Amino acid sequence: MSPTIFPLVLTDLAYGAGGHDLLKSISMEIQATGRTLILGPNGAGKSLLLRLCHGLLSPTAGRITWHEHSQDDAMGAQAMVFQRPVMLRRSVAGNVAYALAGRGVGRVDRHRRVAEVLRRTGLTAKAKLPARVLSGGEQQRLALARAWVVRPQVLFLDEPSANLDPAATRRIEDVILEIQASGTKIVMTTHDLGQARRLGEDILFLCGGRLVERKPAAAFFSGPESPEAVAFLAGQLTW
Amino acid sequence: MNDFATAFAHAFAMIGAFDPDLVSIVALSLQVSLSAVAIAALIGLPLGAAIALFRFPGVGMLAVLLNAMMSLPPVVVGLIVYLLISRAGPLGVLGLLFTPTAMIFAQVLLVMPIIAALTRQVVVDLWDEYGELLRSLGIGRGRTMATLLWDGRARVLSVVLAGLGRAMAEVGAVMIVGGNINHVTRVMTTTIALETSKGNLTLALGLGIVLLGISLLINGTIYAIGNAASRRGSL
């Protein structure tokens, strides 16, 4: 594996659009271990923060630094899965192979790695089907496979099970745990408290574009400090 | 009325018997228009994709210009090409006037803007969907262009066929630069125009029926491609 890109350090990060401050002075550090969950109500800026960290957006103020890497170099060691999976108009296997071809992986090696990641995500039987005829849950698993196959150091997940039923959600979570077990750092947004309790180790609580609270999961759920987090956990935070 | 019915009967008989005149005219039409569309696609597909994806000075102007050129009158294109390739024109030395090559040249000018402008729209739409993913995967510019054209292949193919429809149907440009010379530059549309004015309705009708058939075939194909693609979720 290439040298680590961690830690990720955000310094006074801000992002605005159309005269609105959507994220305000966020400073934090993310380490290579554990699952970091970004929690918060709709419109808190969770997806935005993920896109900024991944380099899809540029901050309007402040800095994002990866250990001794420029943002462009570091992007090659990252992958992202979006809330609505983007399915290329190709077969299931073709979608996964595309990600590898983009990283310059040779044909023979590509074939082997595609087969392996499809097996581990339970999609082997569907390998030859057009990706866009899969069910929502299968499409999201394919998106995970496509991200996993490049062996990223960090995987950003933007509400990966937002539109799925409980069974499909559980399968997605199982795959995420497997990806982490293979050595990839997980950074994930969710507004689903149940999911946050199941997967969370390191909780970042975002509200109104600010990083309101950060704690280990157990401490966060048993004793939130900020009034916003208390209200959110009680299901009373309305926007 | 009776003449009309007789002409129809004779026209169908001509098609059925593969009348050599009719066949050679149809063949030349196909040769000119298919060549023109192939060349126009080679230029127009990458050009349309590049205008959709890349920011360079004048890109907006170029997009507007291409859109305007979609509705260029064929006779005007014919006139411009005529001026370019006539003896006194800048390309006069090539001796292209009244040759099939000149007709291809004119049709490329006619069809290329259509293919480029419609391709731009296909690629813009697909980029809306694919943009973040391709950037996240670290896909370079050239590969991005190729990916969007390939993944938009159903719509891109319809675009090319729309260009073919335009090329097959136009009469003004090929008439001016081709000269409608028998057995040399006479295609379906120019023959229909000529024979109708001469009162020879049989050949004109026969060709008209073939032209309609080709037009139906092209549009039927576009429809079938769209249908098949949406069944596979790949539109």
Q: Decide if pLDDT at A1 tops 70.
A: no
Contact at CB, B136 and A132, closer than 8 angstroms: no
Region label for A55, one of left (φ > 0), alpha (ψ between -120 and 50) or beta (otherwise): left
Q: Which of A71, A89, A100, A103 to mutate to test the interface with B (most CBs of B within 10 A)?
A: A89
- Distance to chain A for B156, nearest Cα, Å: 13
pLDDT tens figures, B167-206? 999 999 999 999 999 999 999 999 999 999 998 888 899 8
Q: Which residue of B has its CA nearest to A104?
A: B139
Q: Which of chain A's residues have a Cβ under 8 Å away from the Cβ of B136?
A: 54, 56, 75, 78-80
Three state DSSP letters for A184-210: CEEEEEECCHHHHHHHCCEEEEEECCE
pLDDT at A237: 62
pLDDT at B2: 67
pLDDT at A19: 86
Query: What count of residues does chain A have?
Result: 239
Q: Decide if pLDDT at A43 tops 90.
A: no
Q: Decide if pLDDT at A4 tops 60.
A: yes
- Distance to chain A for B235, nearest Cα, Å: 8
* Residue A133 contacts B where some CB pair is shorter than 8 Å: yes
Vertex B182 angle, CA B177 and B184, to 5°: 60
- Closest C-alpha to B104, from B45, B62, B154, B42: B42
Mean pLDDT confidence for B110-114: 96
pLDDT at B8: 84
pLDDT at B106: 97
Q: Decide if pLDDT at B209 tops 80.
A: yes
Q: How many CB pairs under 8 A join A and B?
A: 47
Element (H, E) at A16: strand A8-17
Mean pLDDT confidence for A18-40: 92
pLDDT at A73: 75
Q: Decide if pLDDT at A125 tops 70.
A: yes
Q: Decide if pLDDT at A186 tops 90.
A: yes
| Pick from B132, B152, B233: CB nearest A82 | B132
Residue A71 has a CB neighbour count (10 Å cut-off) of: 15
Euclidean distance between CA atoms A157 and A134, whole angstroms: 20
* Residue B129 contacts A where some CB pair is shorter than 8 Å: yes
pLDDT at B47: 95
* Residue B233 contacts A where some CB pair is shorter than 8 Å: yes
- Residue B184, beta-bridge partner list: none
A 145-164 residues with CB < 8 A to B: 150
Mean pLDDT confidence for B105-128: 96
* Residue B20 contacts A where some CB pair is shorter than 8 Å: no
Q: Decide if pLDDT at B46 tops 60.
A: yes
In order of their start, the domains of chain A are 8-86+154-233 (3.40.50.300)
User: What is the dihedral angle through the alpha carbons of B4, B10, B12, B18, rounded to the nearest 10 degrees?
Assistant: -150
pLDDT band at A182 (very low <50, low <70, confident <90, very high): very high
> What backbone phi and psi angles, to 5 degrees, belong to B13?
-60, -40
Return the minimum-mean-pLDDT range out of A82-86, A139-143, B166-170, B230-234: B230-234
Mean pLDDT confidence for A102-127: 93
What are the structure tokens assigned to B159, written together? 């675009």
Three state DSSP letters for B45-66: HHHHHHHHHCCCCCHHHHHHHH
* Residue B139 contacts A where some CB pair is shorter than 8 Å: yes
Q: Decide if pLDDT at A239 tops 80.
A: no
pLDDT at A202: 95
pLDDT band at B79 (very low <50, low <70, confident <90, very high): very high
User: Which CATH code is given to the segment(s) B19-230?
Assistant: 1.10.3720.10
The ranges assigned to domains in chain B are 19-230
pLDDT at B5: 85
pLDDT at A6: 86
Strongest mean pLDDT among A54-68, A97-111, B6-20, B34-48: B34-48
Q: Which of chain B's residues have a Cβ under 8 Å away from the Cβ of A88?
A: 130, 133, 147, 151
- Distance to chain B for A215, nearest Cα, Å: 29
Q: Decide if pLDDT at B1 tops 60.
A: no
CB A57 within 8 A of CB A29: no
pLDDT at B146: 95
Instruction: Give the whole-number percent of chain A exceeding pLDDT 70.
Output: 98
CB B14 within 8 A of CB B148: no
Is beta strand A202-207 parallel, antiparallel or unpaired with respect to A210-216?
antiparallel
Instruction: Give the whole-number percent of chain B exceeding pLDDT 70.
Output: 98
Euclidean distance between CA atoms A108 and B131, whole angstroms: 28
CB A186 within 8 A of CB A36: yes
Contact at CB, A130 and B138, closer than 8 angstroms: no
* Residue A86 contacts B where some CB pair is shorter than 8 Å: yes
Q: Decide if pLDDT at A238 tops 60.
A: no
> What backbone phi and psi angles, to 5 degrees, belong to A8?
-95, 125
Contact at CB, A130 and B232, closer than 8 angstroms: yes
pLDDT band at A135 (very low <50, low <70, confident <90, very high): very high
| Pick from A76, A79, A89: CB nearest B234 | A89
Q: Decide if pLDDT at A226 tops 70.
A: yes
If you search the block for the tokens 């394919």, which residue do you land on?
Answer: A142
User: Mean pLDDT for chain A?
Assistant: 92
